[in-house]
């Protein structure tokens, strides 16, 4: 549905100009399948958008590394260069901030009147602390999104929390 929606939006902007394909890390179609599909469609440039808005080497970085390898392989197979650009992060895009702010405002409005000034907790998937020490921007970007949404939703009290730490021995946020 997401792929079809992106395709419809691009088609409305510029009919016949874009080909859209989806690729995943852990399910079919894989990233490599999507790049090969686009190469077979004759494209000479691929713009990758990972549907996670915050950059982390463990998520967007891995998608990017796999897409780069696949574009290299597809270029060699096709006998022509296929350029690849990946949007690294889109965590402050106005549409995303507005959507999340609307959802926060609606959730706060649904509370009993006595609880209309809650502490809003923005949660995101955790990452290993080692990545943050190595310079991963993910927690900073999550915080930037939370701050922008809190401002747009007129939330006075908010915080960020981490969830779903991996099953490894190392420390996670």
The low-confidence residues of the chain, meaning pLDDT below 50, are: none
Kind of pairing, strands 119-125 and 157-163?
parallel
**For residue 69, what is the enclosing H or E element?**
helix 60-78
Give, as one character, the DSSP assignment of residue 132: H
Total-model pTM: 0.89
Round to whole Å and give the CA distance between 27 and 30: 6
- Give the N- to C-terminal CA distance of the chain in Å, as an integer: 32
Mind listing the pLDDT tens digit for each residue in 65-114?
999 999 999 999 999 999 999 999 999 999 999 999 999 999 999 999 88
pLDDT at 168: 87
Round to whole Å and give the CA distance between 107 and 102: 9
Interacting residues of 101 by C-beta distance below 8 A, sequence separation 6+: 149, 152, 153
164 conformational bin, left if phi > 0, alpha if psi -120 to 50, beta if neither: left
């Amino acid at each position: 549905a997401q792929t079809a929606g992106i395709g419809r939006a691009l088609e409305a902007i510029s009919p016949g100009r874009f080909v859209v394909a989806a690729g995943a890390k852990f399910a079919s179609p894989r990233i490599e399948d999507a790049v090969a599909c686009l190469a077979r469609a004759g494209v000479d440039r691929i713009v990758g958008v990972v549907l996670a808005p915050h950059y982390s080497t463990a998520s967007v970085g891995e998608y990017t590394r796999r897409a780069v390898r696949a574009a290299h392989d597809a270029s060699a197979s096709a006998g022509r260069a296929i350029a690849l650009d990946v949007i690294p992060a889109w965590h402050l895009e106005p549409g995303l901030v507005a959507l999340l702010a609307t959802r926060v405002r609606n959730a706060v409005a649904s509370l009993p009147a006595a609880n209309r000034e809650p502490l809003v907790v923005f949660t995101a998937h955790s990452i290993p602390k080692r990545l943050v020490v190595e310079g991963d921007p993910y927690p900073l970007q999550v915080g930037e999104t939370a701050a922008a949404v809190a401002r747009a939703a007129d939330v006075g009290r908010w915080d960020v929390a981490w969830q779903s730490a991996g099953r490894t021995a190392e420390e996670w946020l």
